[in-house]
Amino acid sequence: MRIRTQSLMGIVPLFLGLGAVIAALVFYLERREMLWGLKEEGAGLAVTIAAFAQENGLTRMAELSATKEGNEQVGGPLGKVMRWRRAMRILAFRSDDGRVIFDIASTASVAGAVLWTQADLAALKGDAAVFSRVERDPKHGLIMKSFAPVRDERAAMHAAICVITDANSLDAQARNGIRTAGLGIGAAFLLGLACAIVVSMFLSERVQTLSDAMVRATRRQDEPVVSHPGLISEINDMDNTLNTMISVLRGVIAKTHRNLQDLEMYRTEEDLAEAFEQSYWTPKALVKKDMTFVVRLVEGNRHGDFLDLVEAGQHVYCITGRSAEKGGLRSARKASATLRFLGHQLLHRDLEGALEMTALLFEVADLQLIDWDAESGRMVVHKYSRKKETFGTEEITMKPSESRAFHDLGDEVDRRFRIYIGNFPQSSVMALMDELMLIVRSVEPIPQGTMVLISRGA
C-alpha cells in the first residue's frame, strides 16, 4: 500500500499542476482577447455616435430622445445601435460641468449605473480623446464605459458621449473556454491516474511476493532466501521505470508551460500593438482599368501608422496616415478607429468633410488621401498636417507608362526616388516597389513611414 500511495503522490500532483497551469493560462488569454474586442467595439460606437451628434446637434438629439417615437425616428447610427445591442445606455454630457444632455437606456440592466468621474473628464480633455474601460458596478456587475468627445466648429470639446454596455458576458464566455479546456485536461488526468494505479499495483504485487518469500525464509532456514530468481532485479527495474515516468511528466509540464508562454500572442501591451499592426505589414494592391495602386508600410513598427485601399464605385481611395497618440497600444487602437471611421465617412459624406471630421475627432498627426476618379481620370491628393494645422489639395496628371511614389520618408528618399523612377522604368509595379524598398534601406538612419506607389499603364 505504501508503494501505491507513493506512486499516486508522485504522479497525481503533477497532473493536477499541469491542469491548473493550462486552465489559468486559458482563462487569462480568453478573457484578455475578448476584453480587447469589447473595448474596440465600444470605442467605435462612441466615436460613431459622437460624430452623429456633432452632425445633427445635441439639442435635436435630446429632443428625439425624450420620446419613444423620437428614438425610432433617429435614422442614423443611434437608432441602429440601440436595436443592435439591447443592454446599452447612451449619454451625452457637458464637459465643463458634467450636466446630462440626454440619457437613453435600452434596458434596466444598465440603467442607473455609476456614470463618469473627474478622471474621465480629465482624460477626455487630455491625450486620451477616445477610450474604453471595464469596471465592476455594485449593482450591475461588470460594465464597460466608452467615451468620445463632441467638438464644435473650432475643434474645442464642449460635450462628450458615454456608451455604457453590459459586459457580464465577458467572464461567462471565459469560463466556457475553461470548461472546454477542462475536458481535455480531465481526460489526460484520468489517463495518468490509471497508469499510476496499474504500475503501482504491479509493483506492489512483486514486492509482496518477495516479502512472503523472505518471511518463509526466516521460518525455514533450509529454504533459499530468494525463491524467485531475478525478482529483485525486476522490482528495481519497475522502480526505475516509475521514477523515470515521474521525471518525464515533470519535464512535460515544464515544456508545456514554456510553450504556452511562447505561443501567447499578447504577453505585453507592446506585443498586442505589434500583433495588431501585422495586418498592415503586407502590401495592399488594387488594379482598376489602366491604373495600379500599391500601399505599404516602410520598415514598419512605428506604432500609429495606418493605411488602406478603398474602392467605392468609380473612385479609388489610397489612405495613409499616422496617429498623434503616444504609446504603442494606445496609438495602435487610435489608428484602427481612425481608419474605420474614415472609411465609413467616405461612403456617407463629401470627401473634404470626411477628412476634416476625421482629423478633428481623432487628432491624427498626418493624413494623406489620394482620390482617383476612374470615369474622368482625375486624381487629387489631399493632405493634412497637424503640426502645420493645414489642409492641402493638389491635382495630379499622370502620363501613360508613368509611376509615382507618395510617402512621408523625407526629402532625401524623395530625391532618390525621382532619380530612379525617371531613369529606370520597371516591367511591373511590384518589381518597382521592391527596388524602391532597397533605396529606402540604403538611407541612414533607415526611415519609417508609409508609401503609396501608383503606376499607369501604356
Delimit the CATH 3.30.450.20 region(s) of the chain: 1-264
Residue 62 has pLDDT above 70, yes or no: no
End-to-end CA distance of the chain: 89
- 106 versus 141: the higher-pLDDT residue is 141
**Whole-angstrom distance, CA of residue 165 vs CA of residue 87:** 6
Q: Residue 393: what pLDDT?
A: 87
Which of 119, 124, 115 lies closest to 95 in space, CA to CA? 124
Residues near 121 by beta carbon (within 8 Å), at least 6 away in sequence = 95, 98, 160
List Cβ<8 Å contacts ≥24 apart for 9-12: 10/196, 10/242, 10/246, 11/192, 11/193, 11/195, 11/196, 11/245, 11/246, 11/249, 12/189, 12/192, 12/193, 12/196
Across the range 159-171, mean pLDDT stands at 77
**Whole-angstrom distance, CA of residue 425 vs CA of residue 316:** 24
Q: Residue 163: what pLDDT?
A: 82
Percent of the chain with pLDDT over 90: 5
Return the minimum-mean-pLDDT range out of 56-65, 217-226, 290-299. Answer: 217-226
**Whole-angstrom distance, CA of residue 146 vs CA of residue 164:** 7
- 180 versus 39: the higher-pLDDT residue is 39
Q: Residue 142: what pLDDT?
A: 79
Q: Residue 87: what pLDDT?
A: 59
Which of 145, 121, 118 lies closest to 46 in space, CA to CA? 145
Q: Residue 84: what pLDDT?
A: 44
- pLDDT tens per residue, range 419-433: 888 777 666 788 888
Q: Report CA torsion sign: 106, 108, 112, 113.
A: negative
Residues near 83 by beta carbon (within 8 Å), at least 6 away in sequence = none
Residue 276 banded pLDDT, cuts 50, 70, 90:
low
The cell numbers describing 38, all together, are: 469589447
Q: Residue 74: what pLDDT?
A: 47
CATH annotation of 275-456: 3.60.40.10
Residue 259 has pLDDT above 70, yes or no: no
Residue 108 has pLDDT above 70, yes or no: no
Q: Residue 306: what pLDDT?
A: 83
Q: Residue 32: what pLDDT?
A: 73
The cell numbers describing 217, all together, are: 525464509
- Give the architecture (CATH level 2) of 1-264: 2-Layer Sandwich (3.30)
SS3 435: helix
SS3 90: strand
**Whole-angstrom distance, CA of residue 443 vs CA of residue 375:** 39
Which of 150, 89, 144 lies closest to 125 in space, CA to CA? 150
Residue 83 has pLDDT above 60, yes or no: no
- pLDDT tens per residue, range 387-415: 777 788 889 888 888 888 998 888 898 99
Q: Residue 15: what pLDDT?
A: 66
Which of 268, 266, 326 lies closest to 302 in space, CA to CA? 326
pLDDT, averaged across the chain: 72
Q: Residue 452: what pLDDT?
A: 92
One-letter-per-residue 3-state SS of 307-338: EEEEEECCEEEEEEEEECCCCHHHHHHHHHHH
Q: Residue 428: what pLDDT?
A: 79
Which of 76, 75, 73 lies closest to 50 in space, CA to CA? 76
- pLDDT tens per residue, range 183-223: 666 766 676 667 667 766 766 666 666 666 656 655 555 55
Delimit the CATH 3.60.40.10 region(s) of the chain: 275-456
Residue 262 has pLDDT above 70, yes or no: no
- 324 versus 68: the higher-pLDDT residue is 324
Whether residue 194 contacts residue 215, with contact meaning beta carbons closer than 8 Å, is answered with no
Residue 265 banded pLDDT, cuts 50, 70, 90:
very low
Residue 169 has pLDDT above 80, yes or no: no
